[in-house]
Amino acid sequence: MPTTYLEAIREGLWEEMERDPDVFLIGEDIGVYGGAFKVTAGFIEHFGARRVVDTPISESGIVGAAIGAGLMGLRPVAEMQFADFISCGFDQIVNFAAKCRYRWNAAVPMVVRAPSGGGIHGGPFHSQNPEMWFVKTPGLKVICPATAYDAKGLIKSAVRDNDPVIFFEHKALYRRIKEDLPAEEFTVPIGKARVARQGRDLSIITYGAMVWVALEAAETLAAEGIEVEVIDLRTLLPLDRDTVCESVKKTAKVLLLHEDTRTAGMAGELAITITETVFEHLDAPIVRVTAPDTPVPFSPPLEEAFLPNAAKVIEKARWLHRY
Q: Could you tell me the CA-to-CA distances from 314 to 87, 198, 226, 231, 320 in Å, in that order?
A: 34, 17, 10, 16, 10
Q: DSSP characters for 53-83? A: EE--S-HHHHHHHHHHHHHTT-EEEEEPSSG
240-273: per-residue pLDDT in tens? 999 999 999 999 999 999 999 999 999 999 999 9
Q: What is the DSSP letter of 296?
A: P
User: What's the pLDDT tens digit per position in 41-71?
Assistant: 999 999 999 999 999 999 999 999 999 999 9
Q: What is the pLDDT of residues 178-188, one digit of tens each?
A: 999 999 999 99
141 in Cβ contact with 166 (< 8 Å): yes
Q: Indicate the domain borders of the chain.
A: 3-179, 194-322
Residues 29-44, mean pLDDT to the nearest whole number: 97
pLDDT digits (tens, 9 = 90+) for 80-134: 999 999 999 999 999 999 999 999 999 999 999 999 999 999 999 999 999 999 9
CATH number of 3-179: 3.40.50.970
Rounded Cα distance, 78 and 28, in Å? 9
Query: What's the confidence (pLDDT) of residue 1?
Result: 85
Quick one: pLDDT at residue 303?
97
pLDDT score for 127: 97
Q: How far apart, in whole angstroms, are the C-alpha atoms of residue 228 and residue 204?
A: 7
Active site residues: 126
Please give the angle made by the CA atoms of 297, 301 and 305, to the nearest 5 degrees.
75
Across the strands, what pairs with 194? Answer: 232
What does pTM read for this prediction?
0.97
Give the single-character DSSP code of 10.
H
β 111-116/52-54 pair status? unpaired
| Reported CATH class of domain 194-322 | alpha beta
